[in-house]
A and B are shown apart, each in its own frame.
Chain A
Amino acid sequence: MRANSRAECDAERKKIQQAFLDGASVHATLQALCEMAERNTQEGLQAASHAHNLEPEGLAVLAIGGFGRQVLFPYSDLDILLLFENVRAEQKLEAVLAEFTRTLWDRGFRVSSAARTLEESKRVDRENVEFHLSMMDRHFLTGDQTVYQKLEQKVLPRTEKVYRSFLHEELIKLTKRRLAKYGNTIFHLEPNVKDSPGGLRDFHASTWMRQVAGGTSEIRGADIAERDLALNAVDFISQVRFFLHYQNGRNDNTLTYELQTIAAEESLGIRDGIKRNAAEWMRIYYRHARTLHHQLQRSLSSQSITSHSLWQKLLLAGRPPKIELSPGKPYAIRNGQFDILDFTAFSDRAAVLALLTEAAQTGLELCRHAERTMAYILFHSELPAKNREISWKQLRQILGSDYPGVALRPMQRLGLLTEVLPEFALIDSLVIRDFYHRYTVDEHSLRTIEHLQALAEPSEAHDVPFSTLWKTVERRDLLVLSLLLHDVGKGMPGDNYISGGLDALKIAAQRLHLSPEDEAEVRFLIEQHLEMSATMQRRDVFDPLTVRSFAAVAETRERLQRLCLLTYADIHAVNPEAFTPWRAEMLLQLYLATANLLTHSLDSNRLHAPVEEPLLEQLRALTGCEEPGKIERFLEGFPRRYLGVHSAAEIANHFGLYQSLSIELVQMELTSAPYALSLTLLTADRPGLFATIAGVLTSWGMNIVKAEAFANTAGMILDSFRFTDSSRTFELNPGEIDRFRRNLTEVLLGTTSLQSPLRALEVASTPKIPKVNVETAIKFDDNSSEQCTLLEIVTQDKRGLLYLLASTMARLDCNIEVALVDTEGNKAIDVFYITKKGQKISEVDQTTLLDALQKALI
């Protein structure tokens, strides 16, 4: 058919559209659209020449860009190049070309034309790299063929040679900029099927990269299955793009929620006859998008194609590769990324996890080759898998690291994450429609973790306070597990996704053998994951009542810290604009006020045992104690924090020690905690007790990093210390543990005197120069507690500090009723609730104590 009017063209377009809707293939539809465009271009030029009675000598019309590679969608621009022999030809044909483009516009083509002379084509316009990339896909349409031949044979071979590496670098830059614009993820809830990661542009970009590199458009190193996967993906996403153009009636490539529903109803791109809802259909879309995106990632990570001179080649050959080998390990660090040396070792899951754990600890990613090799091993059965069972102990090493996301990402891509946490599969590529979220649920969940690990080096000022929280948070493993599971309920039937998430946790906890306390903590975080966000948005965060009611939810500062980080991450991962400085201030204010309240209300918030019936029941079962009132007497009067920081099993253990107090006056338990040792001690209260224990630990060369002192109504104290043993005294000489116990007991009973702890320190080691200087701040507060004066000391941490402070207080007859001692890097943050003769500290005594403490700290 000869199309020479808008009506005829429109009729032909309609015919092509109908054929597509009736099931014509992507290939056939593209071909039909291209043929139509080519024919009209040829006729257009012919008609324009005829009208002006001027032959188009010295002009070649070329199809470039999408038109050039014969991939023309219904409303795509018609990219054409008007190539002139010289400036004279361009000037001569000016009127013909005006007529030519007008004709095409009149026939309904959106012409996007560029004009160049052969001379101009010898240079690359550095400001318009996109044009040169579009030139990579070109073919002759009409006009003077000799001009085109000159371009192909004389001009371009030289230009491409000179500018090859420049074009390659620019292409990589443009590609990375495009991917970054879309958050470097394919998992957009409403993706752009052309430009967002996983879209058709990914396929074209990787094709161009290969062409620039070596002239081949084939996927380097890909097997037939991979090539088929990529071609299927292109076919599927092209069908979607056709569908979007026809539905929107314009060049709009956004796969909106509404169009996802229609595409699913029409089973677009699927031939298996199974009806799917929109969420299920989108999972198929993401699968194809993932294929194209992986292919692009591989092209991006391939070696630079810069052509080297002979001299450069010789230099490069002599340069050793940047590789760090670890003896006995089947992997190594090559150019700052982990690579696999012995792939056979990776049939053992233990080796896989060891590599992933090291990645999570160092923040170094797996190189593409390593991930590909691992994928091969995991999915091919030639090497039977060993040690498939992954324990919580192994998993928590990854989750508790500084960079858990660095391991969790490849774990997700390799299917390992769902192997160890099948509950995560419920939200795989899951689209939940709302106005705020930009990513699928699994992507959102992984992003929460990546936002936290990015706090190692915060880029925005409003992220800095949260960076400190991330670096000092306890049980990071539980926080990260909560983030992985906090939204899995969205993939389950029912309206209450939080309760779905809790059900999933129950199953996961059983499988992973999580302790009841760990499970309870994750349960709390999942259950309350919206609470902090809701409080800061709906309540006045400056109102003490809001703070008090929120503190009652959080219970302890440690838990509050985890909840705050979870909230930070959850808001951040909604979309790139969600965590505004405004929100950061609100969240921080709520955290600070609540943390202060929790620290300053320990004394007033005490346990009244008879009302703790569920706990009492649990303790009776754990201890077997049937004596009425005994457990109640033990618990009565402890600060409530005691319940928050100790599990029921630990409390039962403490109760056992309490019962033994009738046999021996000092009871203690020394255990090894992660990265530190832990001492719990029970005895009757007496003046200077806390200082004495701190003194004994110091005299043994131990560095106290955390301590708490609690007392019950009956005057029994329960002190716990966490300390590091940098000389490895106990590890290398286990016999010393008994000697330490004896020494501590004898000092506390007064049968041995305390050796001068600080002198022992001076003998043991030379003081280290601190990396960061912390200014000392000492503050008294008479308002927070009814019975005690609160003393808060923030100062430079150093060996023996706690002993120094506690002994200064003891010397001035100040009794420590409650203590909370903590360390953040080089900063010691100690809070003491103190009394003198059962009363608050008078103003005069406060001045004396302040003076003494300042002198002691010099």
Chain B
Amino acid sequence: MKKIEAIIQPSQFNSVKDALLEIGVEGMTVTEVRGHGRQKGHTEVYRGREYTLDLLPKVKIEMVLPDQRVEQAVEAILKAAKTGKIGDGKIFLSTVGDAIRIRNGEHGESAL
């Protein structure tokens, strides 16, 4: 099992969600986050006042999938989240030891 964490542009969230649903990935956790990579922050001067965003709004999508489905899901995210501009985000993959369904205590992939 692998955990996929994708940090994407908020504007691409719906496309990514739809792309994942299309390949049958239904379970995901979504968080409103802030951060920056090479994109850095953004400053807007309005009526003489500076409004600086050091950390830019992003969306984090997390999901855990069986190994055999990971590649397809990553492909789907890449395709849907890409605009070609700086700030499109990152995908992180990590190995997950186990998963447990709280309702019935089921373990492993069947708990996903």
Contacts and interface: CB of A to CB of B under 8 A. Distances in A.
| A and B interact | yes
Contact of B44 (A540, A596, A779, A829): A596
Interface string A593-631: 101100000000000000000000000000000000000
Interface string B47-87: 11101010011000000000000000000000000010101
A540 B51 contact: no
B53 A585 contact: yes
B46 A592 contact: yes
Contacts of B11: 537-541
Nearest to A824: B47
B61 to A, nearest CB: 15
B32 interface: yes
A847 B13 CA distance: 47
Contacts of A583: 32
B47 A540 contact: no
Given A586-B10, A586-B57, A592-B46, A542 B87 contact: yes
A55 B33 CA distance: 66
Contact of B14 (A538, A541, A585, A775): A538
A473 to B, nearest CB: 14
Given A542-B42, A592-B44, A592-B51, A537 B10 contact: yes
Given A537-B10, A538-B11, A540-B11, A582 B44 contact: no
A792 B53 CA distance: 22
Q: Give the contact-size bracket for chain B.
A: 20 to 34
Interface string A709-733: 0000000000000000000000000
B42 A540 contact: no
Nearest to A777: B48
B34 interface: yes
B57 A582 contact: yes
Contacts of B87: 542
Given A585-B57, A589-B53, A827 B47 contact: yes
Contacts of A536: 10
A596 B48 contact: no
Contact of B48 (A543, A580, A586, A829): A829
Nearest to A591: B46
A687 interface: no
Interface string A447-474: 0000000000000000001000000000
A589 B42 CA distance: 9
A596 B51 CA distance: 12
Nearest to A542: B42
Interface string A768-790: 00000011010100000000000
B60 to A, nearest CB: 11
Contact of A580 (B32, B46, B56): B32
Interface in B1-26: 9-11, 13-14
B40 to A, nearest CB: 12
B80 to A, nearest CB: 13
A153 B34 CA distance: 65
A256 to B, nearest CB: 19
Nearest to A793: B48
Nearest to A582: B32
Contacts of A829: 47-48
B37 to A, nearest CB: 14
A794 interface: yes
A595 B10 CA distance: 22
A595 B48 contact: no
Nearest to B34: A582
B47 A542 contact: no
A588 interface: yes
Given A537-B13, A582-B57, 17 more contacts: A465-B51, A537-B10, A537-B14, A540-B9, A542-B87, A585-B57, A589-B44, A592-B44, A592-B46, A596-B45, A596-B46, A774-B48, A775-B48, A779-B45, A824-B47, A827-B47, A829-B47
Which 10 residue pairs are nearest across A and B when measured between Cβ atoms?
Answer: A794-B48, A582-B32, A592-B44, A777-B48, A540-B11, A592-B46, A829-B47, A539-B11, A586-B57, A582-B57
21 contacts: A465-B51, A536-B10, A537-B13, A538-B11, A538-B14, A540-B9, A540-B83, A540-B85, A542-B56, A582-B32, A586-B10, A589-B42, A592-B44, A596-B45, A774-B48, A792-B48, A794-B49, A824-B47, A827-B47, A829-B47, A829-B48
